[in-house]
């Protein structure tokens, strides 16, 4: 079985991934792309990918599995040349789940305790202690209850926050009050002090946070976007912040990355910018996830974390 590794990354990053993948699968034949000659292309059965260039996965007649190294697959699904009948698996990395939970906890804790405002006070040499509500009095709504969202919601609940989780269809999650559908979304948005977005990016969730959505949120609430930049209409977010509808936004993802140096988000007093670093795939644990799916493919066993293409995740 030939395995193809391809993506948009620097040579050193690619070599690091290759070293780790070879260390857990030393008997596999690994090919790097580009280039792959036509003879090699006919033998590729598994493509391990990190946002490859569109068209990169065409012309592989024996391809049996596309394994993404990233959790999000929206860019992959935009490639119209993606073989339609080849299973596509997204990355569910336990270490990345933990990192996302840590970032969400930092953001919610900082919003709950007013730490962003305290940082601004330091610049003004202003000594003023904020109020200190209990965690149980701070309502958090987590949008999206997949692997990442579910882990985040349970982690916040374990710290004593009043956590609700929303998904389009009914879900059950230990320790979390779950909501679903449009009625559940309206209820959650109206009550939450902080909304944490971990929705997948689909045609239904693109531009999810627009002016009407901000109007549906509790006055003075805050937004933590850890999912995709295209979930948020930036002009509407700025208007909601400037008009006092929202108190603050913590943003890790943006429509254009890197964020342009002249973008208003950089200098807005109520926006905290992170350079898409909330949770990165850990190559050490991700290599083991890839190995498990390759072994399952070879043994004819069910593959893990397959993408439902019609749903977009």
**Among 64, 168, 276, 309, the one annotated catalytic:** 276
104 Cβ contact list (under 8 Å, min separation 6): 142, 152, 155, 156, 196, 224, 226, 278
Strands (E), 52-117: 65-68, 88-89
**Among 139, 228, 231, 245, the one annotated catalytic:** 228
Question: Is 276 among the catalytic positions?
Answer: yes
Given a contact cutoff of 8 angstroms between Cβ atoms, the answer to whether 70 and 78 are in contact is no
Within 13 Å of residue 35, how many CA atoms lie on the same side as its CB? 3
Distance CA 206, CA 204 (A): 6
Given a contact cutoff of 8 angstroms between Cβ atoms, the answer to whether 142 and 156 are in contact is yes
Please name which of 29, 23, 26, 16 lies closest in space to residue 69, comparing C-alpha atoms: 16
Question: Is 231 among the catalytic positions?
Answer: no
Show the tokens assigned to 62: 């024996």
Positions annotated as catalytic residues are 228, 276
């Amino acid at each position: 079985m030939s395995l193809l590794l391809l993506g948009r990354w620097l040579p050193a990053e690619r070599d690091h991934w290759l070293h780790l993948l070879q260390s857990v699968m030393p008997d596999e034949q690994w090919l790097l792309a580009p280039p792959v000659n036509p003879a090699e292309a006919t033998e590729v059965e598994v493509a391990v990918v990190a946002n490859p260039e569109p068209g990169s996965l065409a012309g592989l007649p024996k391809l049996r599995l596309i394994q993404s190294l990233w959790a999000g697959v929206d860019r992959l699904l935009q490639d119209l040349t993606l073989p339609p009948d080849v299973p596509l698996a997204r990355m569910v990395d336990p270490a990345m789940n933990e990192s996302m939970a840590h970032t969400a906890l930092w953001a919610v804790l900082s919003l709950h305790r007013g730490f962003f405002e305290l940082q601004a006070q330091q610049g003004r040499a202003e000594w003023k202690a904020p109020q200190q509500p209990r965690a149980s009095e701070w309502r958090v709504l987590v949008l999206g209850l997949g692997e990442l969202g579910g882990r985040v919601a349970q982690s916040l609940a374990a710290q004593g926050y009043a956590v609700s989780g929303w998904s389009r269809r009914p879900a059950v999650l230990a320790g979390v009050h779950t909501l679903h559908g449009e009625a559940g979304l309206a209820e959650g948005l109206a009550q939450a002090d902080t909304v944490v977005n971990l929705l997948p990016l689909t045609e239904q969730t693109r531009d999810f946070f627009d002016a009407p959505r901000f109007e549906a949120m509790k006055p003075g609430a805050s937004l933590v976007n850890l999912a995709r930049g295209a979930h948020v209409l930036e002009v509407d977010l700025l208007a909601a912040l400037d008009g006092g509808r929202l108190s603050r936004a913590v943003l890790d993802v943006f429509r254009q990355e890197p964020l342009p140096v002249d973008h208003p988000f950089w200098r807005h007093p109520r926006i905290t910018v992170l350079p898409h670093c909330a949770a990165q795939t850990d190559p050490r644990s991700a290599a083991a996830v890839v190995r498990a799916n390759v072994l399952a493919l070879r043994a004819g066993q069910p593959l893990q974390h397959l993408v439902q293409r019609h749903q977009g995740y």
